[in-house]
Amino acid sequence: MRFRDRKEAGKLLAQSLREFANQTQVVVLALPRGGVPVAAEIAAALQVPLDVLPVRKLGAPGQEELAMGAIASGGARVLNDDVIQSLAISPELVESVIERELRELKRRERLYRGTRPAAKLANHTVILVDDGLATGSTMQAAVNAVRLQHPARIVVAVPVAAESSCQAFNGPDEGLTCVCETAVEPFYAVGLWYENFDQTTDSEVCELLNRTWHRNSHRKAKGKQKERV
């Protein structure tokens, strides 16, 4: 199926994640930028906190659309040795790309979160959300980063994915599962599954995050008032 836009995709995906609604130990973690509009709808429907996990694809030099790996906040990295070896990319060149993308990753984290502390993930169910899953390298970097914080469970949640990538996150590890509305093979590009796949801007990400964080703060305040009563 094709989605009208990321907002509609998030609403539909939220229905498949209903079991996590209103649970205090659940956090929705979005991969910026495209994953944020999807994740915002999920967090609103489930009434759980939303945070971001900046992840950057490492584009092969001269073929930036081809991923030779990915990095995520917290120092996690995933490298595609097959791509690196087939293109004869030197270790020095790989490191230079990593350094460049790391600067952008840190810029986004400062911009999106500001002074707010990162969500606590230890012993929580973490729902990792993106707008689609192609090779899975960026999502794998995100999973690796989250695992460093010892969550109880990780759920990869995407509206559309390559069937092989979805299966890779549904392996024998009981602490890692994948929820996908549409899994297909062959898979060409995430954007083909959306009628509107305009690039999500930094300002849109900040607006969605601020709106969600404000709503969560208001809900917590109401909860404390009820406790005092």
In the chain, what percentage of residues exceed pLDDT 70?
95
pLDDT in tens, 25-55: 999 999 999 999 999 999 999 999 999 999 9
pLDDT at 157 over 80: yes
* pLDDT for 145 beyond 60: yes
Q: How far apart (Å, rounded) are the C-alpha atoms in residues 50 and 124?
A: 13
Q: What are the domain boundaries of the chain?
A: 6-228
Instruction: Sort strands 77-79 and 55-60 into parallel, antiparallel or unpaired.
Output: unpaired
Give the tens place of pLDDT for each residue, 74-126.
Answer: 888 999 999 999 999 999 999 999 999 999 999 998 999 888 888 899 999 99
Predicted local confidence at residue 30, as pLDDT = 96
Q: What is the mean pLDDT of residues 14-21?
A: 97
Find, among 166, 171, 173, the residue nearest to 133 by Cα: 166
Are 38 and 17 in contact by the 8 Å Cβ rule? The answer is no
> What's the pTM?
0.89
CATH of 6-228 given 3.40.50.2020, 3.40.50.970, 3.40.640.10, 3.40.109.40: 3.40.50.2020
d(CA 167, CA 165): 5
CB atoms within 10 A of CB 150: 10
Per-residue confidence (pLDDT) for residue 126, from 0 to 100? 98
CB-based contact 36:45 (threshold 8 Å): no
Select from 25, 221, 130 the least CA-distant residue to 141.
130
Peptide bond into 103 cis (omega under 30): no
Kindly give the interhelix angle for 6-15 and 35-46, rounded to the nearest 10 degrees. Answer: 40
pLDDT tens per residue across span 205-221 = 999 998 888 877 766 66
Provide mean pLDDT across the span 126-145.
Answer: 93
156: Cβ contacts below 8 Å, ≥ 6 apart: 128, 133, 139, 143, 169, 176, 177, 178, 179
Residues 31, 43: Cα–Cα separation, whole Å: 14
